[in-house]
Amino acid sequence: MNNVQNDAILFSWADIETGGLDGKREDDDTLGMETYPILEIAMHITDSDLNILDGEGFRVVIHHPDSVLDQMSSWSIKQHTETGLLDEVRQSNITSEQAEQLALEHLKKHNAQPYDREKRAGTIMAGNSIKLDRNYMSCQLPELDQYFHYRQADVSAVALFVREWRPDVEACVNKKYLHLALPDIRESIMEAKVYKEKLFQPGFKVDDDVDLYGTVQFFATDFTSAMAKFDFDDPKYQNDPAIQLLRQQLINLESRSIDLAQKVSLV
């Protein structure tokens, strides 16, 4: 199967700002995802090649009274006061239900269809560390949550592997971590573009039966391992011209296989 753009799939890059974390609250043992407010919802829609399809994107701020805002976590109150989001929340006249419908209208306006598991087509939610966002959606925005594939494209998962295995690629990612929904989404898309460019090159093709990239890598490793098992320096082989010629040929092949594997991994 070739690495080609899938026109049947769109990504909804989503981010929400909330009144706290999604887990159990220390004050009353309720779950944050059920009790803390959703303050802001933002989205950008891209195709599978990460081209933005919805211009400036979507953003809506949800109204909550001070009696609700005062119950948020101390970190959230401080952070969202500094960014000005809480002032926007107080001034908004949009309810959670209205915000959910506006988000759905935005998806439909840009032809981001509900995900169809049988056709393997539709909209997949994407973003950074979106487990929290998805948990909040499932509790407070269930119609929006069910619009997407039950799986999600979490860039943070790729980032963890990159940190361990490709620090050179991690160094290419520049993020400001503003905790503002739309800027955070755009950073996530740019981060995904870095990984796509550096890790998922179009030249890395997987045939129907053979993973060419993996085959080159494993061939080099297996070749080196096989060479190490044969003792060419054994005295009984030292004066055998045929064995020594074979040794030199194998060394040359080993060097070429390792060089090819390195070039493939650095493309």
Active site residues: 150
Token representation of residue 18:
């909330």
The neighbouring-strand residues paired with 10 are: 47, 123
CB 144 within 8 A of CB 100: yes
Beta carbons within 8 Å of 203's beta carbon, 6+ residues apart: 267
